[in-house]
Structure 1
């Protein structure tokens, strides 16, 4: 029996933030997870007329004073990924959006 538990959500702009090459959201955390988390599932909600299924993005880790590694690429609505625990992640390189959108991250547990 698996469960789907919201662990974080973040608003992303449709393009990188001013002065940023790829970052389009503030930081969010995945470092507090329910027991037996086996995957993440990513869900996109759009504020505008964008189809959430036409939006994709990457997820990067915020490194203070260093270069930020990309953790996940080509994340789309409903995608499952491996678990990655970190307190400072952000949405990067959004594609297919014309307005702000919300990304909700769910822990899938067994």
Structure 2
């Protein structure tokens, strides 16, 4: 009986949204979106959730970090709509190497807390 009262309700707060092309941008090897920021997260954030809108259910992508003058590392690989990830913050993430779609799509990022 007491277990339900000790379970904290999960909250989701949208922290970012970005539009991605279905392929890398012209002249880019990986990048298919502009940069988006994951910063100033709500207290108690324990995961990030990615939600894809406007694309097929099988659409997936990588998230990379823009490093000025350096090699951009892949932060999360093969992200599908509804996937949750560990928490990393930066002001320069971008969508890369999308697969499974022929049209532009929107990625919304939520903090789970």
TM-score, normalised to structure 1, is 0.93
Matched, 1:104 2:108: yes
Residues paired across the two proteins, number: 105
* CA deviation after TM superposition for structure 1 residue 31, in Å: 1.4
Which has the larger Rg? 2
Matching of residues 27-42 of structure 1 within 5 Å: 27-42=35-50
User: Runs of 4+ in structure 1 displaced over 4 angstroms?
Assistant: none
* Gapped regions of structure 2 (runs ≥ 5): 1-8
Q: Which runs of 5+ in 1 are unaligned?
A: none
Query: Is the counterpart of residue 54 in structure 1 residue 62 in structure 2?
Result: no
Question: 1:43 maps to what in 2?
Answer: 51
Could you report, residue by residue, the CA deviation over 1:58-101 in whole angstroms, capped at 9, with x for unpaired residues? 00000001000000000001001001100100000100110100
1:67 corresponds to which of 71, 81, 86: 71
Question: How large is the RMSD of aligned CA atoms in angstroms?
Answer: 0.7
